[in-house]
Amino acid sequence: MPAEAIMADKHSKDHDMHAHSAHEVQPPVLIGQHTYGSLSDKVASIPLDPKHSKGWIFGFLIAFSLFGLLHTVLGWVFAWGVGVWGITNPIGWGFDIINFVWWVGIGHAGTFISAILFLVKQQWRTSINRFAEAMTLFAVACAGLFPLLHMGRPWRAWWVFPYPNTMGLWPNFHSPLIWDVFAISTYATVSALFWYTGLIPDLATMRDKAVFKPVKMIYGMLAMGWRGSAAHWQRHQMAYLLLAGMSTPLVLSVHTVVSFDFAMSLIPGWHTTIFPPYFVAGAIFSGFAMVLTLLIPIRHFYKMKDMITDKHIDNMAKITLATGWMVFYGYIIEAFMAWYSGNQFEGFMMLNRMTGPYAPMYWALILCNGIIPQLLWFKRVRLNMLSIWLISIVVNIGMWLERFVIIVTSLHRDFMPSSWDMYYPTEWDWGTFIGTIGLFLTLIFLFIRVLPMVAGFEMKELLHHRKKHH
């Protein structure tokens, strides 16, 4: 262990002893002999570097070409209709809604980290919250595409908004899809505001550090005249706290409402009261998995192991494990209830999931979400970046499969055996899915290149606390 790290460890220990009067040994959340200046430099250096690194260009080009694929697919879907997808008569929703729910779920970690962990004063969140929040926004942007895309007549999409019109027509407020519209748009708005509010002090730092005039001007405009005065700080902190308070219920409500899309219907496998908590837990589960999937390579390539420490990864892995169990509990209860209810349709639905044509999906889902995450009990696994990265990807796949199983296996064999059918995704389904991954990654690449991906001022606060207690 380099001397620097030992020192940091010591500092950290001291800090924790003072802060919590606790005797257990806490791993550090900030490593190294950082000063305010070095932190600022490190955070700002990535966006302000005039040269694009080769790795970034390479990654961006891949992401951007997938984004191009999305354009092609959208053009095709709009030109011909949703019939280009594999959806059929009993299976009216396929990849469109699977991806929608998947992306919305991923978009939960950011706000959870920023808002809830902020309110419960989890200081380790500071170095990852910015990134997680950005990821949230991009995931919600991807998710937001699908409600529009999945419509038969997307050019009429604005009818789902309540706007005054001469015909006196309103959307149907009974429909969970309308609740979705409100839930998702509110969530997107509040998350964006929260993220932007958190960015302002760092944007000012960027403005101050930028050398090239136009760049300086852009950051300047975005910083909205931030000068770092005490009044600014006081108001900023209050606004941030309020937004955190507002975001917190949204984290829980969004996926609850999304789960209502299913729970409010009468389809066996959808019509389940456990859905809201189980969906929220699943969302946080998948969100943390996605944060891990992205952050582990980023902290490696951008050499940020001092800010995003093993402690962060470890904590996130623990949350993943905890939420994973909530989800797994949901699966168990679903199966139990199907049997316990004595309802012929529920029972068949569960049996069909486990033994029907899509049984491989179901068992893969159990493996990905229920079995493999159990490895996270082992500290060795949690601290091995490769293993935890692989597990996070497995969880991402598992959560995608979960939505596939819920949507497809419930619809493909419901009440009328005469109408049973199979769902096979087409190349356009895959194109849409991969295309949105392209959109997501493109945005991520742009984000890490133009904005500070670590909340510099919060890190400085952390440093300040550390120094104060030292």
Binding site for another protein (CB under 8 A): 75, 78-83, 86-93, 150-154, 156-157, 159-160, 169-172, 174-178, 181, 261, 264-267, 344, 348, 357-358, 360, 411, 413-422, 424
Instruction: Report how far residue 468's alpha carbon sits from residue 470's, in angstroms, rounded to the nearest whole number.
Output: 5
Smallest gap from residue 372 Cβ to another protein (A)? 23
Smallest gap from residue 104 Cβ to another protein (A)? 16
Half-sphere exposure in the Cβ direction for 81 (13 Å, CA): 5
Coil vs helix vs strand at 1: coil
Smallest gap from residue 419 Cβ to another protein (A)? 4
Smallest gap from residue 261 Cβ to another protein (A)? 8
Q: Which is nearer to another protein, 325 or 363 (CB)?
A: 363
Instruction: Report how far residue 285's alpha carbon sits from residue 402's, in angstroms, rounded to the nearest whole number.
Output: 12
Q: Which is nearer to another protein, 27 or 356 (CB)?
A: 356
> Nearest 5 degrees, angle CA 42-CA 46-CA 52?
150
Q: Tell me the one-letter amino acid at 172.
A: N
Residues 6+ apart with CB under 8 A from 226: 200, 201, 203, 204, 232
Q: Which is nearer to another protein, 65 or 419 (CB)?
A: 419
Smallest gap from residue 396 Cβ to another protein (A)? 22
Tokens 């101050």 correspond to: 208
Q: For the chain, what's the residue count?
A: 470
Smallest gap from residue 126 Cβ to another protein (A)? 40
Q: Which is nearer to another protein, 157 or 450 (CB)?
A: 157
CA distances from 158 to 161, 283, 445 (A): 6, 27, 31
Number of H helices, E strands in the chain: 19, 0
Six token digits for residue 148: 């529009």
Six token digits for residue 261: 């899309």
Instruction: Report how far residue 120's alpha carbon sits from residue 286's, in angstroms, rounded to the nearest whole number.
Output: 21
Smallest gap from residue 181 Cβ to another protein (A)? 7
Q: Which is nearer to another protein, 325 or 415 (CB)?
A: 415
Smallest gap from residue 73 Cβ to another protein (A)? 14
Q: Which is nearer to another protein, 23 or 174 (CB)?
A: 174
Contact 288, 323 (CB under 8 A): yes
Q: How many CB atoms lie within 10 A of CB 164?
A: 7
Smallest gap from residue 266 Cβ to another protein (A)? 5
Residues 6+ apart with CB under 8 A from 457: 201, 202, 205
Q: Which is nearer to another protein, 173 or 214 (CB)?
A: 173
Q: Which is nearer to another protein, 329 or 363 (CB)?
A: 363
Contact 287, 396 (CB under 8 A): no
Q: Which is nearer to another protein, 55 or 92 (CB)?
A: 92
Residues 6+ apart with CB under 8 A from 275: 259, 260, 262, 263
